[in-house]
């Protein structure tokens, strides 16, 4: 319970909440470093997967069908005798690729639009805002389904679609922060000294808008990992036999009653990864004092 006691993630709690010494709030603490260690491990394993001494993630081994976890296969094997550890590590690649690239794309476009809207205001802001509203009028998952139905499932397509769908939220965060910082003295001073718009935007505003938006991006990363999970669970991500956490869960779910470890191992990995990213994001958010209310 102690770890929860100094939980500033819910700063709205009360202005006169428990008296927390400032020092404790300043340390990042175990709630940051444990998740960070987990994420680092997942990233390193996924990146070096092909160098590691792992059995093939796709070759079936009929001598080892549905083995529960043991010394030879730490995470066991699935119904086709494939090593689950190996599949999980290769599957992490997809989650991470989509989870990082799609928000990166959305962040790039969203920040450009958001800063433009927040800095120039007026008609530009209205047009950009309306365009974003139009994107948001649709439940995003439907767009992804419809397009994949047409073009066929593939990872690059997923990155592009999910990236575009994150643009509106990034745009909002960028615009809100630009609005705040555009009123600050250093920006007004820079403009008074005759700095061009481009200079003000790139040198004065960008560094300040970047930090809150990067922290916000963590939240989006965890959400996109979940969405990718849903889509690959539905078979709309990387085609079989290549593993993703989502399709591993989907395949394993068939024999949930007798072989529960098959779906629950990738499920647990995904859960821990998403939880870790959320915890890190929450910690950083508390540190930089970015409140949800900016959105």
Q: Are 182 and 205 in contact (CB under 8 A)?
A: yes
Q: How far is the CB of 14 from other proteins (least distance, A)?
A: 5
Q: How far is the CB of 288 from other proteins (least distance, A)?
A: 18
Q: Are 94 and 237 in contact (CB under 8 A)?
A: yes
**Distance of alpha carbon 109 from alpha carbon 159, whole angstroms:** 14
Nearer to other proteins, 137 or 192 (CB): 137
Contact residues: other proteins, CB under 8 A = 1, 4-5, 7, 9-10, 12-20, 134, 137-143, 145-151, 222, 226-227, 229-230, 233-236, 246, 249, 253, 256-257, 260, 263-264, 267, 270-272, 274-275, 278-279, 282, 292
Q: How far is the CB of 10 from other proteins (least distance, A)?
A: 6
The torsion angle over the Cα atoms of residues 55, 57, 61 and 66, rounded to 10 degrees, is: 110
Q: How far is the CB of 124 from other proteins (least distance, A)?
A: 21
Nearer to other proteins, 15 or 53 (CB): 15
Q: Are 118 and 179 in contact (CB under 8 A)?
A: yes
Q: Are 215 and 290 in contact (CB under 8 A)?
A: yes
Q: How far is the CB of 103 from other proteins (least distance, A)?
A: 17
Nearer to other proteins, 15 or 122 (CB): 15
Q: How far is the CB of 71 from other proteins (least distance, A)?
A: 26
Nearer to other proteins, 177 or 276 (CB): 276
Q: How far is the CB of 55 from other proteins (least distance, A)?
A: 25
82 φ, ψ (degrees, to nearest 5): -85, 140
Nearer to other proteins, 69 or 235 (CB): 235
Cα 65 to chain centroid, rounded: 34
Nearer to other proteins, 134 or 189 (CB): 134
Nearer to other proteins, 178 or 247 (CB): 247
At a CB cut-off of 8 Å and minimum separation 6, what does 33 contact? none
Nearer to other proteins, 201 or 259 (CB): 259
* E strand residue ranges, the chain: none
**Distance of alpha carbon 31 from alpha carbon 28, whole angstroms:** 7
72 φ, ψ (degrees, to nearest 5): -70, -45
Q: How far is the CB of 263 from other proteins (least distance, A)?
A: 6
Q: Are 93 and 65 in contact (CB under 8 A)?
A: no
Q: Are 9 and 286 in contact (CB under 8 A)?
A: yes
Asked if residue 241 has a cis previous peptide bond (ω within 30° of 0), the answer is yes
């Amino acid at each position: 319970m102690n770890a929860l006691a100094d939980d500033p993630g819910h700063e709205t709690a009360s202005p006169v909440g428990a008296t927390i010494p400032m020092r404790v709030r300043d340390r990042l603490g175990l709630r940051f470093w444990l998740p960070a260690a987990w994420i680092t491990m997942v990233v390193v394993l996924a990146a070096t997967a092909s160098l590691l001494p792992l059995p093939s993630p796709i070759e079936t081994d009929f001598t080892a069908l549905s083995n529960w976890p043991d010394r030879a296969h730490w995470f066991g094997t699935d119904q086709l005798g494939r090593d689950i550890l190996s599949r999980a590590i290769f599957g992490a690649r997809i989650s991470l690729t989509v989870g990082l690239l799609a928000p990166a794309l959305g962040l790039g476009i969203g920040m450009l639009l958001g800063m433009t809207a927040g800095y120039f205001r007026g008609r530009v802001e209205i047009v950009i805002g309306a365009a974003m509203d139009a994107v948001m009028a649709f439940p995003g998952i439907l767009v992804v389904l419809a397009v994949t139905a047409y073009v066929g499932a593939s990872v690059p397509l997923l990155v592009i679609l999910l990236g575009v769908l994150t643009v509106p939220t990034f745009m909002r965060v960028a615009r809100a922060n630009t609005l705040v910082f555009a009123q600050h003295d250093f920006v007004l001073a820079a403009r008074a000294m005759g700095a061009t718009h481009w200079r003000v935007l790139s040198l004065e505003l960008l560094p300040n808008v970047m930090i809150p938006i990067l922290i916000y991006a963590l939240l989006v990363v965890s959400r996109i990992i979940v969405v990718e999970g849903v889509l690959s669970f539905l078979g709309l991500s990387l085609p079989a036999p290549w593993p993703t956490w989502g399709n591993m869960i989907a395949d394993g779910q068939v024999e949930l009653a007798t072989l529960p470890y098959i779906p629950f191992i990738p499920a647990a990995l995904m859960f821990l990864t998403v939880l870790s990213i959320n915890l890190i994001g929450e910690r950083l958010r508390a540190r930089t004092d970015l409140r949800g209310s900016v959105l």
